[in-house]
Amino acid sequence: MRTARFIAGRLLSMVLVLLIVSALTYLVFFLLPSDPAQLSCGKPCTPQNLAIARSFMGYDEPVWRQYLAFLEGIVRGRSYGTGPAAIHCAAPCFGYSFQLAAPVTQLILSRIPVTFSIAIGAAVLWLLLGVAAGVSSAVKRGTLVDRAAMALAVGGVSAPAYLVGLLAILLFGFTLNMVPVNGYVALTENPVQWAWHLVLPWCVLAVMSAAVYARLTRAQMLDVLGEDYIRTARAKGLREWRIVGRHGLRNVLIPVVTLFGLDLGQLLGGAVITERVFSMQGLGALLIDAVGNLDLPLIVGITLFSAFLIILANAAVDLLYGAIDPRATA
C-alpha cells in the first residue's frame, strides 16, 4: 500500500513536471523574435504563402490554444489540413515536424538506438574507470598513483568534448588508423561493427566523465576510510581489499549512484556534441537541427523526452538507494 502510494505520487509529480516543462518550452519559443512558418513558406515567401503555411501548421492560433491542441494530440491524436492529403498524427502525438515530414514520436523513436548505444556504453565505461581510479587514488593517497590519477582527472574535467573528440579522431582514426572515424552501424545489422564504430565515442565520453567520478569517489572514500567502523574492521584483521571493497565502497557508492543516475538520464536525452563530432544521428543531433530549423514540435518533443528520462533516472536512483544502503528505506 505504502509502495503503491509512493509510485502514484511519483507518477503524478512526473506528469506535473512534464507539463511545466512543455508549457515553458512553448512559451520560451514564442517569445523568440522568429517565425517558424517562414522556413516552410517556400520561395519566394510572399505574405500570401506565409499565411497559408502558418495556418496549415497551426501557428496562426494564440499560443495557449496551440498548447491545448498539443496536449489534446497526445491523448487523441491530431490532423493537419483537410482532404486526402491531410497529415494524420496518431496518439500519442507529440506534434508533427514539417521540416522532416514525420511525426515527432516516430523521429524520436528512430534516433533512440543511436543515442542509447552511445550513452549506455560510455556510462558503463566511465563508471568503471572513474570508480576504479578514485578508489586507487584514495587507497594510495599521496603517492604517484594518486597524483597521476588526479592530474588526469583535472585534465578530463577541463577538456571540451568537441576538442577531445576531434583530437581522438585525428589520432586514432586518421593517424593510427585504428578505429572508424565516424558513422553508426545498427546493432541488429552487425554487432561487431556496431561496437567498433562506438569505441571512440565511448572512450571520449568516458575519459571526460570518469574524471568527475574519480574525484568524487576519491573524496568520499577518504572520508569513509577515516570512519570508526573501518578502523574496527582493520583492528579485526580484515584484509585491506575486503575493507575497501566491501565496507568502504558500499558507502561511497550512494553519492556516485545519484550522480550517475542524473548523468545517464541527461546523456540518454542526447549526447549533443559527441553525436555531432562523430556524425552519429542520435537525439542530440536531432535537437540541434530542430533548434537551427525552429522546428517547434520537435524541440518540445525532445525536451519532454529528455526531461522524462531524467525524472525516470531519478526514480531509479531512489529505488537503488534501498538496495545499496538498507538504512535509506528504514
Partner 1 sequence: MKRHGVTGVVAVTAALALAACNANPSGTASAGPTGAVTKGGTLTILTASTNLNLDPAKSQNLATTTLGLVLRRLTTWDIQPGKPATVVPDLATTTGTSSDGGKTWTYQLKDGLKYADGTPITAQDVKYGVERSFAPELSGGLGYHKGLLVGGDAYKGPYTGGDLASIATPDSRTIVFHLNKSYGDWPWIVSTPAFAPVPKAKDDPQKYGNDPVASGPYQVDVNQQGSVLRLKRNPYWDAKTDSVRTAGPDQIVFQLGQDTTVQAQRLIADSGKDKDAFGAGFVPPAQLVQIEQNPTAKSRLVTSDSGALEFLALNTTRGALSDLRVRQAVEYAVDKKSVQVAAGGPIGGDLATTLITPGIAGRVDYDLYPAGPDGDVAKAKQLLAASGHATGLKLTLLVQDDDLNLAYAQAVQQGLQRAGITVTIKSEDEDAWVADATGDKGDYDLTIADWQPDFPSANGNIEPLFGSSEIGGGGFNLSRYSQSQADGLIQQATGETDPAKAQALWAQADKRIMQDAPVVPLLYTKNSFLHGSDVQNFFVASFPAYPNYLKVSLTK
d(C-alpha 257, C-alpha 264), whole Å: 10
188 binds partner 1 (CB under 8 A): no
Of 11 and 86, nearer to partner 1 (C-beta) is: 86
> What DSSP character marks residue 320?
H
Element (H, E) at 132: helix 104-139
Of 289 and 318, nearer to partner 1 (C-beta) is: 289
Query: Which residue has 525516470 as its cell numbers?
Result: 312
In this structure, the strands spanning 96-97 and 102-103 are antiparallel
| One of 21, 53, 104, 249 touching partner 1 (CB under 8 A) | 53
In a 13 Å sphere around the CA of 155, the CA atoms on its Cβ side amount to 11
The site for partner 1, by CB under 8 A, has a size of 55
Q: Is residue 105 within 8 Å of 92, Cβ to Cβ?
A: yes
Residues 215-274 that bind partner 1 (CB under 8 A): none
| One of 1, 62, 142, 174 touching partner 1 (CB under 8 A) | 174
d(C-alpha 67, C-alpha 28), whole Å: 12
| One of 4, 177, 327, 330 touching partner 1 (CB under 8 A) | 177
Q: Is residue 280 within 8 Å of 114, Cβ to Cβ?
A: yes
Return the range that interacts with partner 1 (CB under 8 A); candidates 139-147, 218-226, 276-284, 303-311.
Answer: 276-284
Whole-number Cα distances in Å, 64 to 58, 68, 70, 79, 185: 12, 6, 10, 18, 42
179 binds partner 1 (CB under 8 A): no
203 binds partner 1 (CB under 8 A): no
End-to-end CA distance of the chain: 16
In a 13 Å sphere around the CA of 203, the CA atoms on its Cβ side amount to 15
292's CB contacts (< 8 A; 6+ apart) are: none
Residues 25-44 that bind partner 1 (CB under 8 A): 32-35, 38-44
56 binds partner 1 (CB under 8 A): yes
Of 81 and 160, nearer to partner 1 (C-beta) is: 81
Smallest separation (angstroms) from partner 1 to the CB of 99: 8
5 binds partner 1 (CB under 8 A): no
Per the omega criterion (within 30 degrees of 0), is the bond before 297 cis?
A: no
Smallest separation (angstroms) from partner 1 to the CB of 148: 31
Q: Is residue 176 within 8 Å of 219, Cβ to Cβ?
A: no
Return the range that interacts with partner 1 (CB under 8 A); candidates 16-24, 82-90, 204-212, 303-311.
Answer: 82-90
| One of 1, 31, 85, 176 touching partner 1 (CB under 8 A) | 85
79 binds partner 1 (CB under 8 A): no
193 binds partner 1 (CB under 8 A): no
| One of 14, 63, 102, 159 touching partner 1 (CB under 8 A) | 102
Of 129 and 200, nearer to partner 1 (C-beta) is: 200
Of 1 and 31, nearer to partner 1 (C-beta) is: 31
Burial letters for 68-88: b for 16+ Cβ neighbours within 10 Å, e otherwise? eebeebbeeebeeeeeeeeee
Instruction: Give 89's strand partners.
Output: 78
* Cα-Cα-Cα-Cα dihedral sign, residues 4, 5, 10, 13: positive
Return the range that interacts with partner 1 (CB under 8 A); candidates 12-20, 65-73, 131-139, 182-190.
Answer: 182-190
| One of 84, 226, 237, 326 touching partner 1 (CB under 8 A) | 84
List interacting residues with partner 1 (CB under 8 A).
Answer: 32-35, 38-50, 52-53, 55-56, 80-87, 98-102, 110-111, 166, 169-170, 174, 177, 181-184, 276-281, 285-286, 289, 294
